[in-house]
Structure 1
Amino acid sequence: MRVAVCQLNARDDRAENLKAARNLLQRAADGGADIAVLPEYVDYLGRAHTAPAPESVDGEFGTFFADAARELGMWVHAGSFHETGPDPEHTYNTTLVFDRSGALAATYRKIHLYDVEIPGRVSYRESATVAPGAATSSVDVERIRLGLSICYDLRFPELYRQLAIDGATVLVVPAAFMLHTGRDHWEVLLRARAIENQCYVLAAGQIGNHDPDRTCFGRSMVVDPWGTVIAQAPDIPGVTFAELDLERLAEIRETLPSLANRRL
């Protein structure tokens, strides 16, 4: 299976962000991808007071990417967007996955919220405006089973272990990983999740500066079940391709059966 991870610099112009995302999807399809993955908050990454109103799964955002999947004949993992939440003060941070016909195949709401206070460096409380999801989610994408997550989820290995127990062979991480943590942790965590769960990992990140005064690390990549980075994006928006070798995945799980040997 040929996969594409799409890296972009979403800012505070939703129309331009969606246009850029659609162009990346076109490049992914032109490159023969079976599935393309976009980053977290693909449609808007800017100041909260100018953010677009949250919407339902079948709203403008969902329709836009459903149309793209159908027109391109490709599976589309639409990163994430602000879905209408449980109350007026909170949205959900939600992933949508569309099949080749444009039908909605899976939904996942981010479980772990980024509440971090690093004096002099970052102060951020995602939970102030975003409600946590309550359930894991995976979906069969032709020959693979895709396990879904979003950004800060990456730091919680129990989520990925559950996805692997549920049959996932590929783990997906759309993200807007901050520069100061991404430099030290992004690749290490992605490779760890791949190794411990003997899965491919597809990680699509935001890159560059975003309003207000936020810089994302980028370095979108594909990691194989041995923990080897088999494709990595340069530090610019673009599309990075990789081939998933399902025979290699089966061989790794057979010759080093750590997943099968677990007791908890």
Structure 2
Amino acid sequence: MFKIALCQIKVEDDFEKNIDKAYKKINEASNKGAKIVALGEMFNCPYSGKYFSKYAEEENNSKTLDMLRNVSREKGIYIIGGSIPEKEEGSIYNTSYAINPDGEIIAKHRKIHLFDVDIENGIRFCESDYLTKGENITVFDTEHLRIGICICYDIRFPELIRKMTLMGAKLIFVPAAFNMTTGPAHWNILFRTRALDNQIYIAGISPARDYEGVYTAYGHSLVVNPWGEIIAQADEGETIIYADIDINYIEKIRKELPLLKHRRIEIY
């Protein structure tokens, strides 16, 4: 059993302030015993197309990654670096980095599914106007267990989460900035369903809500266990939530209700 922490941070139009706030939250979470600390989607950048290019960094020249790598070494923890706008060869990606306790990048996930929606009386947003799709599923090993990362809209595609599970992921982190239309309607349902269908732990990490910002996130970061129960959840404000991940509990649930073994892959 080990502890994870999700840092729900209010993002501002101030790069240095966002980075500093994330650094302080990571330190606080580590000091309270978290072995893996996760941040939200676009934690260093306002979630708006006009800011993505302004805040974008290249992997080998990134103040954000320097901070994440330094604090992971300082505290001896794993960090799931939410997501940031990553620039490479003229393209901008919505990218999450995983950092190990030695400060090494051990995985990166570029958001596979871009959020292009036009909801009547709700939000209209087209990430594809600003961002490029990722092409790879992201699963990697740690000393604790195998972990997966996907980003926000990725969670809506059950095939992806099932594939990650079949690749061995037993804990999936999902930095996600759901809005005030989709959040109240779908946030809890999606995370609970993906967890119980695959009998895994799954964590959704949102920015804190800011009614005066360029984007109003739903908040309510959460951790769901393999039985589909929410075992930790935030409200809408800045906070850190914690949850214990019990590897034996995953195996217990899969033994008692062997969904994955009962799949009829010869039929579907």
Kindly tell me: are residues 15 and 211 of structure 1, through their superposed partners in 2, closer, same or farther at Cα, counting changes over 3 Å? farther
Q: How does 1:62-77 map to 2 (within 5 A)?
A: 62-77=65-80
1:54: Cα distance to partner?
A: 2.1
1:171: Cα distance to partner?
A: 1.0
Q: Which residue of 1 aligns with 2:185?
A: 184
Q: Which residue of 2 aligns with 1:120?
A: 121
Q: CA deviation digits over 1:149-181, x for unaligned, max 9?
A: 000111111110000000000011111111211
Q: Which residue of 2 aligns with 1:197?
A: 198
Q: How does 1:238-253 map to 2 (within 5 A)?
A: 238-253=239-254
1:50: Cα distance to partner?
A: 4.9
TM-score normalised over the length of structure 2: 0.93
Counterparts of 1:27 and 1:203, CA distance in 2: 19
Counterparts of 1:18 and 1:195, CA distance in 2: 34
2:139 counterpart of 1:159: no
Structure richer in strand, relative to its length: 1
TM-score normalised over the length of structure 1: 0.95
Q: How does 1:78-227 map to 2 (within 5 A)?
A: 78-86=81-89, 88=90, 90-209=91-210, 213-227=214-228
Q: Which residue of 2 aligns with 1:56?
A: 58
1:210: Cα distance to partner?
A: 6.3
Residue 103 of structure 2 aligns to which amino acid in structure 1? G
Q: Which residue of 1 aligns with 2:255?
A: 254
Per the alignment, in what secondary structure is the counterpart of residue 188 of structure 1? Answer: helix
Question: Does 205-214 or 4-13 show the bigger shift?
Answer: 205-214
1:46: Cα distance to partner?
A: 5.1
Per the alignment, in what secondary structure is the counterpart of residue 69 of structure 1? Answer: helix
Q: CA deviation digits over 1:108-140, x for unaligned, max 9?
A: 100000000123322110011111000101111
Counterparts of 1:256 and 1:219, CA distance in 2: 29
Alpha-carbon RMSD: 1.5
Kindly tell me: are residues 47 and 182 of structure 1, through their superposed partners in 2, closer, same or farther at Cα, counting changes over 3 Å? closer
Counterparts of 2:253 and 2:232, CA distance in 1: 19
Number of residue pairs aligned between Structure 1 and Structure 2:
262
Residue 246 of structure 2 aligns to which amino acid in structure 1? D
Question: Does 40-49 or 250-259 show the bigger shift?
Answer: 40-49
Per the alignment, in what secondary structure is the counterpart of residue 217 of structure 2? Answer: strand
Residue 15 of structure 1 aligns to which amino acid in structure 2? E
Runs of 5+ unmatched residues, structure 1: none
CA contact (8 A) 2:148 2:169 kept: yes
Per the alignment, in what secondary structure is the counterpart of residue 231 of structure 2? Answer: strand
Percentage of pairs with the same residue: 34
Counterparts of 1:9 and 1:178, CA distance in 2: 14
